Chain A
Amino acid sequence: MDDVQSDVNRELMLDGNAVAGKLQDIFGLEMTANPTECAHCGNVSEIGGLLAFTQAPGAVLRCPTCENVMLRIVETPDAIYLDARGAAYLRLEHRTS
């Protein structure tokens, strides 16, 4: 395993857990345990396991395997925007109650 090179940007990188609150605002549901498939490489990951870049004008969630953008979230004073084109699907399991 190679020595990890200091990378300010990588140190600032978080994961889907960091946007759990925002996703719950959007979906009205806890989302981080839900699986999602990368539209680019097919990797399936729970949303909590996606790479997250939150030090930005918005939040960008990327596939942990190929690093392609899967979800983008922008919050403006009036609205939340969600772009999920990088996700082939989000899977929300039926829950009792």
Chain B
Amino acid sequence: MADRFISRGFVGKRRQTEATNRVPPGQHAVSDFPVLSAGPTPRTRLDQWTLTIEGLVREPVRWTWEEFLKLPAQQFVVDIHCVTKWTKLDTRWEGVSVDTLFEHVELDRKAMVVTAFSDGGYTTNIPLPEIINGQAFVAYTYDGRPLAPEHGGPARLVVPHLYFWKSAKWVRGLRLMEKDKSGFWESLGYNNHGDPWKEERYAGD
């Protein structure tokens, strides 16, 4: 835009340009972990918490918190990218791979997409092929400590190869569906897919 006013001496904080191939276009690396939320922190008691796989499966399955913690878990170190332009490298999590969760159900052949749903009503949609094969997990520790409520605790979905709004905080289940259904942000101007490497931020990108 021609003759836009430039503020003398302003560069913006956290603007260190990383000449690294780990930071997607338009992103900058941060060292803190910003808290973003669309609503108040849900406070589900652990004795009432469950995680469900439902929808286009032969039999839905549900784990209580104790049962969930007994599932085989792994350490994950991943980079995460928020559509609001911050990227955090080498985040450390512990959780259960979605592949492990799906071992307990038989997927219907018609299942094409997954809607992740959370306490508080948040939803987000992910193509089925992009949530399996080691691409997603349900995490319950971050940086060696129990996942804090403001970051999605007790458990959140993590799908690091897509913008982080797809990593639903306070996740309570995954629903297998045939027809794609836009989630909370996808239905209001954000990209349905959300690949940070193709800068799929907004609808139409």
| A interface, CB within 8 angstroms of B | 7-10, 12-13, 51, 53, 55-58, 60, 62, 67, 69, 72, 74, 76-79, 81, 83
Known: A57-B165, A60-B39, A67-B40. A7 touches B189 (CB 8 A): no
A58 to B83, CA, bound (A): 10
CB closest residue in chain A, given B150: A8
B185 touches A57 (CB 8 A): yes
| Chain B residues within an 8 Å CB radius of A13 | 40
User: Within B58-89, which residues are at the interface with A (CB < 8 Å)?
Assistant: 83-84
A76 touches B189 (CB 8 A): yes
22 contacts between A and B (CB under 8 A): A7-B40, A8-B148, A8-B150, A9-B40, A9-B150, A10-B40, A56-B36, A57-B83, A57-B165, A57-B190, A58-B38, A60-B38, A62-B40, A67-B39, A69-B121, A74-B185, A74-B189, A76-B189, A77-B202, A78-B204, A81-B188, A83-B187
| Chain A residues within an 8 Å CB radius of B121 | 69
B149 touches A57 (CB 8 A): no
A79 touches B39 (CB 8 A): no
Query: How big is chain B's contact interface, by range?
Result: 20 to 34
| B interface, CB within 8 angstroms of A | 34-41, 83-84, 121, 148-150, 165, 185, 187-190, 201-204
Which residue of B37, B187, B201, B203 contacts A55 across the interface (Cβ within 8 Å)? B37
A48 to B189, CA, bound (A): 24
Known: A76-B202, A77-B202. A57 touches B39 (CB 8 A): no
Binding site of B, secondary structure by majority: helix, strand, loop or mixed? Answer: loop
| Chain B residues within an 8 Å CB radius of A7 | 40-41, 149-150
| Chain A residues within an 8 Å CB radius of B37 | 9, 12, 53, 55-56
A78 to B189, CA, bound (A): 10
| Chain A residues within an 8 Å CB radius of B83 | 57
CB closest residue in chain A, given B187: A83
A69 to B37, CA, bound (A): 13
A7 to B151, CA, bound (A): 11
Question: Chain A's nearest CB lies how many Å from the CB of B122?
Answer: 10
Most chain-B CB neighbours within 10 Å: which of A7, A51, A58, A81?
Answer: A58
A57 touches B84 (CB 8 A): yes
Known: A57-B84, A57-B165, A77-B202. A9 touches B185 (CB 8 A): no
Known: A7-B149, A9-B150, A76-B202. A69 touches B39 (CB 8 A): yes
